[in-house]
Structure 1
Amino acid sequence: MEQDSKGQAKGALMKSLDNALTLLEQFTPEAPAFGITELATRLGLNKATVFNMLKTLEAHSLVEQLSDTKKYTLGHGIIVLAGTKLAQSELSHVARPHLARLSHETNETTHLAILHRNELLYLEKIESSQPVRVAARIGGRAPLHCTANGKVLLAFQPNEVIEEALRAPRARYTENTIVDPAVLRSQLAEIRQAGYCIEREEFIADIRGIAAPVFDFNGTVIAAIAVVGPSARITEGQIEALVPLTLRTAESISRSLGHKPYKDA
């Protein structure tokens, strides 16, 4: 069956619902508001159709119209839905105290992320108390090929998923970003073998991270945690100390989710 760009069978999609959801996906922190003409251009739809979709979404508080510019932005209904999902998330609930302890021990920011389509999605964060720190937004996304969390998540995927990711275009964010598929493939194998990833200024200049996988009770990697901070603090000597702390935290979260390492089985 023919598939769309998101890998979904076209016959299984309701076109009007798919268009409305695609409309909602246009809103980002960088582009929080749009007019009808802008959305129609982005979606390739006529303005009357976009207008009707917006009015329907507005009736459910999923979008709202700004009084000054008459543009549309996400509505409070999105917050209600997101809050319900977060409240249901056992993973975030279980991981948070472990991330808090790791952040306290390292005095750096800690993240929990999952794989979402072809990116990573931040589910939880504990920010460092230091004046200079790495900030991340819960619900924010980042690339897989140049982040510590992302590489861990990708490394433990089936081979066909890895190869599909390596065939996709990869942006170069810093001079340290690895875009060569052969080099990435080798690095992912090393991460699987070691059980953790060290990322050195590949996504953001002067920022480093250490990440490790989180397993569920079936032994499947369902998330990754990371410690991230400025390179001035996360020195090569500090990395040596952070790796075992990160691994211990990931293992503690995994155990809380019912995972038993092979040595315990």
Structure 2
Amino acid sequence: MEQRSAMANNPRRNTVQSLERGLGVLEAVSAANGPIGITELSRQLGLAKGSVSRLVTTLVKLNFLVRDPETRKYQLGLKLWELGSKSITRLDIRGVARPVMEELHRVTGETVHLTVLSSEGKMVFLDKLDSTRSIRPNVQLGAHLPVHCVANGKAVLAFLPENQVAAILANRLQRFTDTTITKKGDLMAVVEGIRGTGYAVNAGEFREDVSGVAAAICDHTNYAVAALGISLPSSRMTEAEARKLGILVAEKAREISTTLGSQHDEASRGSSPSSRGGA
């Protein structure tokens, strides 16, 4: 009732009312236990359904909210994640990660890279160190890759809130190679395993000739803000090599996470985002 009165009746003179109401919608959606509808938002905010509908439509258009076509309810969109990622970038995540990347590069001789999630649900390369070997993958800074078929994408999915994962995977999972995972149930089973091991593996799922491993870099809330990864030709990626590089990249990602304030103990690593209060 207090929220309703504050939103509907607060006679502030130096604020933009529509912006204030839009931010109120975002706060209400964020506080909800799951997707929330127009009627409930109207009740909580003390605004007419028509007003709430217009605000929500605008927020969906700008990717701040996502609408479930079946339930017609709303949840937070990827634009908020992008803004949060940019905030982390302002803390110079590349500067924090670079010495660790250089050490990983020195030890492995393989291509090492740093990626973040974009508002479109793609993994974007922020930084890289190319392999010293003659045969190596071509990693382009700024390239956007689908999350479901690259190691860095799957690593990040393992440490995001459930509603954000649902928004990212809302569309059909496109097949790129014979090993691409295209069923969401199968992908989520893999993601659950990543929470236990601490690293993800790409077995030629986006490009047959390129494989890799990656681990999430988490902030003080233990949610992923980036991923540290290693890419190499599939011809060099044996099961034993994947395990060795995976353990190593997970260790190095935890070093970066610790610098960002993450409490990366075994309990938090093995739990799902929802069990840590982020659904």
In the superposition, the TM-score normalised over structure 2's length comes to 0.62
Q: 1:162 to 1:107 in 2, by over 3 A?
A: same
Tell me which amino acid in the other structure corresponds to 1:134. Answer: P
The residue that corresponds to 1:110 in the other structure is 112
Q: Are the equivalent residues in 2 in contact too, given 1:201–1:208 (CA < 8 A)?
A: yes
Answer yes or no: is 1:2 the counterpart of 2:2: no
Identify unmatched segments of 5+ residues in structure 2. Answer: 1-55, 66-86, 269-279
Task: Pick which of 229-238 and 201-210 moved more.
Answer: 229-238
RMSD: 2.4
The residue that corresponds to 2:149 in the other structure is 146
Residue of 114, 126, 134 corresponding to 1:131: 134
Supply the distance in 2 between the matched residues of 1:263 and 1:234 (Cα, whole angstroms): 27
Residue of 161, 167, 170 corresponding to 1:167: 170
Q: 1:130 to 1:164 in 2, by over 3 A?
A: same
Taking the TM superposition and a 5 Å limit, the aligned residue runs for 1:1-265 are 1-3=56-58, 4-8=60-64, 88=90, 90-117=92-119, 118-262=121-265
- Give, in angstroms, the shift of residue 188 of structure 1: 1.4
Q: Percent identity?
A: 31
- Give, in angstroms, the shift of residue 219 of structure 1: 2.3
**Count of aligned residue pairs for this structure pair:** 190
Secondary structure at the residue paired with 2:139? coil
Supply the distance in 1 between the matched residues of 2:198 and 2:267 (Cα, whole angstroms): 17
Q: Are the equivalent residues in 2 in contact too, given 1:107–1:129 (CA < 8 A)?
A: yes
Supply the distance in 1 between the matched residues of 2:131 and 2:253 (Cα, whole angstroms): 18
1:130-178 CA distance string (max 9 Å, x none): 1111122222211000000011112211111222233312221111111
Supply the distance in 2 between the matched residues of 1:227 and 1:247 (Cα, whole angstroms): 11
Q: 1:155 to 1:6 in 2, by over 3 A?
A: farther
Q: 1:264 to 1:239 in 2, by over 3 A?
A: closer
Q: 1:192 to 1:264 in 2, by over 3 A?
A: closer
Secondary structure at the residue paired with 1:97? helix
Q: Are the equivalent residues in 2 in contact too, given 1:167–1:181 (CA < 8 A)?
A: no
Secondary structure at the residue paired with 2:169? helix
- Give, in angstroms, the shift of residue 251 of structure 1: 1.2
Q: 1:5 to 1:143 in 2, by over 3 A?
A: farther
Q: Are the equivalent residues in 2 in contact too, given 1:149–1:211 (CA < 8 A)?
A: yes
Supply the distance in 2 between the matched residues of 1:8 and 1:188 (Cα, whole angstroms): 25
Higher helix share: 2
Secondary structure at the residue paired with 1:145? helix
- Give, in angstroms, the shift of residue 89 of structure 1: 5.5
Tell me which amino acid in the other structure corresponds to 2:132. Answer: S
Q: Are the equivalent residues in 1 in contact too, given 2:159–2:222 (CA < 8 A)?
A: no
In the superposition, the TM-score normalised over structure 1's length comes to 0.66
- Give, in angstroms, the shift of residue 5 of structure 1: 4.6
Supply the distance in 1 between the matched residues of 2:248 and 2:116 (Cα, whole angstroms): 20
